[in-house]
Amino acid sequence: MPMAGADLVELLQVCVRGAMAAQRYIILELLQLDSSDAPRRDVRIADFEPQSLRMLRDRLRHVVTVGVKGQLAHKEGTAANDLVTTADIVTQTVLERALADAFPDMPFTLVGEEDANTSAAIASQVDDCMRRFLVADFPIPLQADLNRHACTESRLICAETYEELRSRIGVFLDPIDGTNCFVDGHWTAPLTLVGITLDGLPVAGVVNRLFYCTIDDVTCGSGAECGSLSYVWNDASTGPFLLHEGRRVHVGARHAA
């Protein structure tokens, strides 16, 4: 009898919650954005007027530390600097902590883009984010529909040992893809990315466009149609379940040849 198991759909849901919690922390705590900063509550942050975006960019630069972790071979000058910020580290650590809390046996191999070492100051920010913005059992957008769609045989992976599961299941984190754009205020680009693989093949993923949300999206808490969020569960039996920028996209089931 297999003694170890992991629910891949639950794993996906934890990743969504972690990504959205970090997004709220960046916007509401680091940027200190509130309704007085928004021209309209239904306007996405990335679509604010240039003057408002400059103000928020300057505010961000005062509260995050920016470092250079390497050089990008395909670019020149300062654009070649591969940047990392405290927001990257906080986001990745929030995701790592959320996963460890939900899966204490760690039935997967976790690979993060950034250095896992965190300072006491970063740890304090992570604690604050998780306390204020992460609710372990809070439903993600369309969670009930996702659970109905997902086939038990596809989502539940069992093995003799957790070590065997870790050799089969991978979770890959890029906390802020487009950090240079994040720092420079080009806010249509920055994304939080999570990929989940089984036996080397992608089965689920999360894309959260950090600033493709309205002030209501991040303050009301439900995220029911948060325009920044996309995720996919690729079910071997029932076909893909796809949420794209807050709305479900119906994709035909895959048929066997």
CA–CA separation, 250 and 256 (whole Å) = 19
Tell me: pLDDT of 137 over 60.
Answer: yes
Q: Would 187 be classed as within a structural domain?
A: yes
DSSP string across 59-82: HHHHHS-EEEEEE-TT--GGGGEE
CB 96 within 8 A of CB 114: no
Q: Would 254 be classed as within a structural domain?
A: no
Instruction: Identify the DSSP state of 31.
Output: S
Is 176 marked within a binding site?
A: yes
Other Cβ atoms within 10 Å of 154 Cβ, number? 17
Is 115 marked within a binding site?
A: no
Mean pLDDT over 185-207 rounds to 96
Other Cβ atoms within 10 Å of 145 Cβ, number? 12
- For the record, the structure tokens of 140 come out as 């993600």
Tell me: pLDDT of 150 over 90.
Answer: yes
| pLDDT score for 164 | 97
Q: Would 255 be classed as within a structural domain?
A: no
Which range marks the domain in which residue 10 is found?
Answer: 4-249
Q: Domain total for the chain?
A: 1
Mean pLDDT over 202-220 rounds to 92
Tell me: pLDDT of 193 over 90.
Answer: yes
55-91 pLDDT, tens digit each: 989 988 888 887 654 433 333 444 334 457 889 999 9
Is 174 marked within a binding site?
A: yes
Q: Would 18 be classed as within a structural domain?
A: yes
| pLDDT score for 177 | 93
Is 169 marked within a binding site?
A: no
Mean pLDDT over 238-245 rounds to 96
- From the list 136, 119, 134, 179, the residue with the least C-alpha distance to 19 is 134
Which CATH number do you get for residue 68? 3.30.540.10
Better pLDDT: 68 or 154: 154
CB burial of 39-61 (b: ≥16 within 10 Å; e: otherwise) equals eeeeebbbebeeebbeebbeebe
Other Cβ atoms within 10 Å of 183 Cβ, number? 20
Q: Would 257 be classed as within a structural domain?
A: no
Mean pLDDT over 213-220 rounds to 86
Tell me: pLDDT of 253 over 70.
Answer: no
Q: Would 66 be classed as within a structural domain?
A: yes
| pLDDT score for 257 | 34
Tell me: pLDDT of 21 over 90.
Answer: yes
CB 237 within 8 A of CB 150: no
Q: Would 100 be classed as within a structural domain?
A: yes
| pLDDT score for 78 | 40
Q: Would 14 be classed as within a structural domain?
A: yes
* Confidence category of residue 116, pLDDT binned at 50, 70, 90: low
Compute the mean pLDDT over every residue in the chain, rounded to the nearest whole number: 87
Tell me: pLDDT of 229 over 90.
Answer: yes
Beta-strand (E) ranges in the chain? 4-7, 66-71, 81-85, 109-112, 156-159, 169-177, 191-198, 201-209, 229-235, 239-244, 247-249
* Confidence category of residue 222, pLDDT binned at 50, 70, 90: low
Q: How far is CA 47 from CA 38, 185, 221, in A?
A: 10, 12, 21
